[in-house]
Chains A and B, each alone.
Chain A
Amino acid sequence: MTAIRLPEPESAVVARRDVIVKDLVAMLGATSVIADEDGRRAYETDAFTAYRCMPLAVVLPDTTDGVAQVMAYCHRNGIKVIPRGAGTSLCGGALPAEDAIVIGVSRMNKVLEIDTPARFARVETGITNLAISAAAGPLGFFYAPDPSSQLACTLAGNIAMNSGGAHCLKYGVTTNNVLGVKMVMIDGTVVEVGGAHLDADGYDLLALIIGSEGQLGIVTEATVRILPMAEGARPMLIGFESTAKASICVSRIIASGIVPVAIEFMDRPAIEVCEAFAKAGYPLDVDALLIVEVEGSEEEIADRLGYIAGIAQELGPSSLIISADDAQSAKIWKGRKSAFGAIGRKADYLCMDGTIPLSQLTYVLEEISNICKRYGLGVANVFHAGDGNLHPLIMYDANNARQAERAEQAGADILKLCVAAGGCLTGEHGVGIEKRDLMRVQFSDVDLAQQMRIKSLFDPQWLLNPAKVFPLDGRPELTAGVADPAVAAE
């Protein structure tokens, strides 16, 4: 695919490649620098695989100091930097550029401290999301945000994208669970924001850093909240003959005063694929399936699931299955969490990530179906219904350039629909390159200029992940290293 324009690489930087690699090796040692073609190939894309680009070089520092040295070097020499966690971004957030150095934090993956009385863990950010919970688990605690890629994705990437997950209905997203960070600025300065206490002092810089898609700095250490594990958790499956009924059911559950830990939604195409993959016992004769999970003791769970079942019964569900045991619960979640992978076995797909107000759900799902029909493409829906975060998977054949282009167009139409319905372009995946050119659908020039001023404050030369998030046109003029977007906007 070629619809998304990427800036021309600076040939002067590319021409200095050998010198730059030598300098990097001198700084970090040969084992931390990847310069050969095969080695770099592993870093040429992320999970938004339609776009690829070989970076100038890849460095994998072991320490914050190593990151700081490389950043300072890049700053001095005007070289672009692409921060990278595990490369699981679905929006091209970690896509390299020919004239850029990838700084990966994957080797910095230690747990530094776990304090259960104060309920925090301090970790290096190259640690995977799941490894934090694995380390806290034996103490009875866990780290709450749980993106589907949690086995592979790093905390660094979660922080960059403000990742969510199925259980954020109750526990919030990354920004609600990070208390402090150690961040390397583009000039190599290391700043510490927040700490083990619940509210950082001064302006809320954490709010800006989390979700800034690696454009403000590289976070190398973080203090995250850990929570005691619930006594137990159990999902139930509620199948409906129509998506309309399913969405009414979601509204009624929430209005009833119960906030389940998760409410997930699947449509028929998704149910079929996931059931074939996970054999979770999903009903196959329904148009919409809800997975509703509650937590507590055995009795508390039984009580709440009974109450939710009562709400569902009023709507005449086609099926209503309460998970019988932990093994079945695991299968139910395995089906949901492997949905993207399972659909990927059938077809190539683009995964959208718009969020909408729940009241618009039925209308938006119908429209999504119409849009995809118009482009002659199939679509499956698997998403977090409790918070309105949709994930339509537009299926296409990547070897068919025309289909690929249509898929991108359908995706853009769907995201515009989400914004028009009162929602937003991305609920948890990020903007990256994928949605960069749609930002004006959601934001005015004033809104964007204000955000770009923040970018310029942290990174005056726009060296960090520069081709992402903001449309390429209308950006600040970079003169003498100082950028004022107002100049460009006028």
Chain B
Amino acid sequence: MSELLRPAADWELKSMLAQFGAQNLAVEIVGAGSKRAIGHPVQAAALLTTASLRGITLYEPTELVMSARAGTPVSQIEVELASRGQMLPFEPLDFGAALAAPVGLQTIGAVFATNNSGARRISVGSARDHLIGLRGVNGRAEIFKSGGRVMKNVTGYDVARALTGSWGTLAVMTEVTFKVAPLPDDIATLVYTGLPEDLAVEMMSLAMGTPFEISGTVHLTPKHAARIATAPVGGRATSITALRIENFMKSVRYRKGRIMEALKAYGQPMELDLEASLGFWAEMRRLVPVRFSDDILWRVSTSPRKAADLVATLRRHMPVEATYDWSGGLVWIEIPDCADAGAADIRRAVAIAGGHATLIRAREAVRREVEVFQPQAPALEKLSRGLKDVFDPQGLLNPGRMYQTM
């Protein structure tokens, strides 16, 4: 790594990429770099950060829409939104604590480039669902735009959304436009303790089937639960299962009662008020349950129906601690350090359950060898490779980060 580049305008980024293209040299693309340890290590001649592409360029609270340049910190965006009683509805996670990287620096561009969504994804959709437009520069050093600033737009192909979750391997985003939402007036959390995983997932799924618009459902195995600090949940030696209810005050009170009634069979929950709820869900957003350690961390996306079985299957081979989010549709799996990061067993279990697994935390030497993202079926891999060629035919941008040969 020889050079650090900080373009401050689209045209500057374009000319930088054109130069790299002319010399056929690869570039590693980052925002603040807080998720740099995810993916295969990138071999590149230079590191290019979007950090100097800063600033909110449009905010219309009455239209629930905001545009910001890609390097704008999420923290700045959330302060601005909160000042008008609004928020990023998909509550992006901060990976800092989980990866021993800086906390609170993540950029908005990176949120969309990694399709980073937290607990509320289950009710309102993911980062990807909220993106409505972007500007960027592709690997051909072309400035392009896709989408716009309006909520509904089916004009041409949805290139903007197609770039979410591409981890900077297709194009560098320079400006993103996204939907925002009002902050709820009130929040309550019901916390059930001591439920085994299968029952917890069953209960969370049942809760999501009620009409009460639950906006967060997590289950933490005992070791993960013990890392939570917020009283009165913090420091317990039992599993916890939490359901979040958000709306205006009268509604929250009403819905809380109805949910407790519907879930009577699972026991009597603790009730967290607004303040405790904010504390607990903020810890979830910072990934406190899976905070940095020498353990390996996987992120598994599957059908909630299969989640508990998948973890039980893995336990036959290794000790597993798990945090279930999205009512079991997302499982953070922590296992002790080992040579292949448990990839063989995890991929086999995921193949049976359906879904996919991403290696989030492992030593660099391990990440160099193990497939970090889910290997694809041949027909899909061909399309992925083709898409890479469409945007970045020379393979300049983050080469190998997602797939070793791409």
| Residue among B159, B206, B211, B251 making CB contact with A303, cutoff 8 Å | B251
Q: How far is the CB of A204 from chain B (nearest CB, A)?
A: 5
Spot the interface stretch: B34-42, B162-170, B335-343: B162-170
Task: Name the A residues within 8 Å of B69 (CB-CB).
Answer: none
The residue in chain A whose Cβ has the minimal distance to the Cβ of B61 is A255
Q: Which residue of A lies closest to B374 (CB)?
A: A201
Shortest CB-to-CB span from B392 to chain A, Å, is: 11
Contacts A119-B209, A192-B377 given; indicate if A359 touches B63 (C-beta within 8 A).
yes
Q: Is A389 part of the binding interface, using a Cβ–Cβ cutoff of 8 Å?
A: yes
Chain A 152-166 interface mask (CB, 8 Å, partner B; 1/0): 000000000110100
A106 neighbours in B (Cβ, 8 Å): none
Q: Does B387 contact A (CB under 8 A)?
A: yes
A454 adjacent to B159 (CB under 8 Å): yes
B163, B247, B303, B355: residue with the most chain A Cβ atoms closer than 10 Å = B303
A157 shortest CB reach to chain B, Å: 12
Contact A303 B156 (CB under 8 A): no
Residue of B nearest to A91 (CB): B154
Q: Which of A235-243, A293-301, A404-412 contacts B (4 or more CB under 8 A)?
A: A293-301
Q: Determine which of B60, B304, B386 lies in contact with A117 in the assembled complex, contact meaning CB atoms within 8 Å.
A: B304
Is B244 an interface position by the 8 A CB rule?
Answer: no
Give Cα distance in the complex from A198 to B60, angstroms: 29
In the complex where A119-B208, A176-B125, A428-B152 touch, is A202 in contact with B402 (Cβ < 8 A)?
yes
CB A212 to nearest CB in B, in angstroms, measures 6
- A303 & B248 in contact (Cβ 8 Å cutoff): yes
Q: Are A447 and B154 in touch, CB under 8 angstroms?
A: no
B301 on the A face (CB < 8 A): yes
Main secondary structure of the interface of B (DSSP, over half): mixed
A300 touches B356 (CB 8 A): no
Shortest CB distance B183–A (Å): 7
Name which of A33-41, A325-333, A438-446 contacts chain B. A438-446
Q: Is the CB of A211 within 8 A of B305?
A: no
Which of these binds chain B: A284-292, A365-373, A393-401, A417-425? A417-425
Nearest B residue (CB) for A115: B305
Q: Check B155 against A425 for contact (C-beta < 8 Å).
A: yes
Q: Does A447 contact B126, Cβ atoms closer than 8 Å?
A: no
- Residues of chain B lying within 8 A (CB to CB) of residue A161: 154
Given contacts A197-B302, A203-B166, contact A140 B251 (CB under 8 A): no
Contact A388 B151 (CB under 8 A): yes
Query: Could you say which residues of chain B place their CB within 8 Å of the CB of A173?
Result: 152, 154
Binds A, one of B18-26, B48-56, B140-148, B263-271: B140-148
Q: Count of B residues near A, CB < 8 Å?
A: 83
Given A176-B129, A201-B373, A297-B254; A164-B162 close (CB under 8 Å)? no
- A355, B155: Cα distance in complex, Å: 10
Contacts of A429 in B (CB 8 A): 154
- How far is it, in angstroms, between the C-alpha of A363 and the C-alpha of B159 when the chains are bound? 30
Q: Decide if A439 touches B155 in the complex (CB within 8 Å).
A: yes
Which of these binds chain B: A21-29, A225-233, A334-342? A225-233
Q: Is B332 an interface residue (CB 8 A)?
A: no
From known contacts A202-B376, A257-B183, infer whether A162 and B154 are also in contact, taking CB-CB under 8 Å. Answer: yes
| CB-nearest residue of chain B to A191 | B379
Say if the beta carbon of B138 comes within 8 Å of chain A. Answer: yes
Residues of A near B170 (CB, < 8 A) are: 203
Our pick among A162, A193, A230, A299 for the contact of B380 (Cβ within 8 Å) is A193
Q: Is the CB of A357 within 8 A of B155?
A: no
A197 B155 Cβ-Cβ under 8 A: no
Q: Tell me which residues across on chain A come within 8 A of B377, comparing CB atoms.
A: 191-192
Q: Which residues of B contact A424 (CB under 8 A)?
A: 148, 150, 153, 155
Scoring A residues 239 to 276 as 1 if CB is less than 8 Å from chain B, else 0, what string do you get? Answer: 00000000000011011111100000000000000000
Name the A residues within 8 Å of B208 (CB-CB).
Answer: 119, 228
Cα–Cα distance between A473 and B376 once the two chains are bound (Å): 36
Within 8 A of B (CB), among A441-466: 442-444, 446-448, 450-451, 453-455, 457-458
- Does residue B391 face the partner (Cβ distance < 8 Å to A)? yes
| Complex Cα–Cα for A472 and B183 (A) | 47
Report the separation of the CA atoms of residues A338 and B52 in the bound assembly, to the nearest whole angstrom: 51
Q: Are A203 and B156 in contact (CB under 8 A)?
A: no
B182 CB–A CB distance under 8 Å: yes
B157 touches A211 (CB 8 A): yes
Q: Is A97 an interface residue (CB 8 A)?
A: no
Which residue, A355, A422, A425, has most C-beta atoms of chain B within 10 A?
A: A355
CB distance from A213 to the nearest CB of B (A): 9
A254 touches B155 (CB 8 A): no
- Chain A residues contacting B373 (CB-CB under 8 Å) are 201-202
CB contact under 8 A between A469 and B166, given known A117-B305, A176-B125, A299-B250:
no
Residues of B within 8 A of A172 (CB): 125, 129
Q: A197-B355, A252-B62 are in contact. Are A422 and B149 (CB under 8 A)?
A: yes
A467 at the interface (CB under 8 A from B): no
B122 at interface, CB cutoff 8 A:
yes
Number of A-B contacts (CB under 8 A): 251
Query: Are B156 and A431 interface neighbours, CB within 8 A?
Result: yes
A430 lies within 8 A of B143 (CB): no
**Is A116 touching B209 in the complex (CB atoms < 8 A)?**
yes
B324-376, CB < 8 A from A: 326, 329-330, 354-356, 358, 373-374, 376
Q: How far is the CA of A172 from the CA of B89 in the complex (A)?
A: 13
Indicate if B273 sits at the interface (CB-CB under 8 A). Answer: no
Asked if residues A199 and B301 are in contact (CB atoms below 8 Å), the reply is yes
Q: Is B143 within 8 A of A387, CB to CB?
A: no
Say yes or no for A308: interface residue by CB 8 A criterion: no
> Is B115 positioned at the interface, with any CB of A under 8 Å from its CB?
yes
Chain B residue with the shortest CB-CB distance to A231 = B211
Q: Which of B63, B164, B209 contacts A388 (CB 8 A)?
A: B63
Asked if A196 is at the interface of the complex by the 8 Å CB criterion, the answer is yes
A300 touches B155 (CB 8 A): no
| Interface status of A168 (Cβ within 8 A of chain B) | yes
Whether the pair B211, A450 counts as a contact (CB closer than 8 A) is no
Considering the chains assembled together, what is the distance between the CA atoms of A429 and B305 in angstroms?
36
Which residues of B are found within 8 Å of A230, using beta-carbon distances? 211
Q: A198-B330, A422-B150 are in contact. Are A447 and B380 (CB under 8 A)?
A: no
Contact B380 A205, beta carbon cutoff 8 Å: yes
CB distance from B175 to the nearest CB of A (A): 14
On chain B, the residues within 8 Å of A297 by CB distance are 254
Contacts known (A201-B373, A207-B158, A207-B164); A303 close to B250, Cβ less than 8 A:
yes
Interface residue A313 (Cβ < 8 Å from any Cβ of B): no
The verdict on B85 contacting chain A, using a C-beta distance below 8 Å, is: yes
| Contact of B150 with A387 in the complex, beta carbons under 8 Å | yes
Residues facing B in A168-214 (CB within 8 A) are 168-169, 172-173, 175-176, 185, 189-193, 195-199, 201-205, 207-208, 210-212
User: Of A192, A193, A228, which contacts B209 at CB under 8 A?
Assistant: A228
In the bound complex, residues from chain A placing their C-beta under 8 Å from that of B305 are 115, 117-118, 196
In the complex, which of the residues B150, B159, B166, B250 contacts A427, with contact meaning CB atoms closer than 8 Å? B150
A192 to chain B, nearest CB (A): 7
Q: Which residue of A lies closest to B185 (CB)?
A: A257
**How far, in Å, is B164 (CB) from chain A's closest CB?**
6
Give the complex CA separation of A210 and B160 in angstroms. Answer: 13
Interface check A426, CB cutoff 8 A? yes
A358 interface contact, C-beta 8 A? yes
**A446 touches which of B126, B129, B144, B354 (Cβ 8 Å):** B144
Q: Specify which of B156, B183, B250 is in contact with A451 (CB 8 Å cutoff).
A: B156
Q: Closest CB-CB distance, A322 to chain B, in whole Å?
A: 18
29 inter-chain pairs at a CB distance below 8 angstroms, sorted by A residue, are A117-B305, A190-B379, A191-B380, A191-B383, A192-B380, A197-B302, A197-B354, A203-B383, A204-B163, A204-B164, A231-B211, A257-B183, A259-B182, A296-B251, A357-B63, A358-B63, A359-B60, A359-B62, A384-B152, A389-B152, A423-B150, A428-B152, A429-B154, A435-B155, A450-B138, A450-B159, A451-B159, A454-B157, A457-B390
* B interface list, Cβ under 8 A from A: 60-65, 85, 115, 117, 121-122, 125-126, 128-129, 138, 142-146, 148-166, 170, 181-183, 185, 202, 205-206, 208-211, 247-248, 250-251, 254, 301-305, 326, 329-330, 354-356, 358, 373-374, 376-377, 379-380, 383-384, 386-387, 389-391, 402
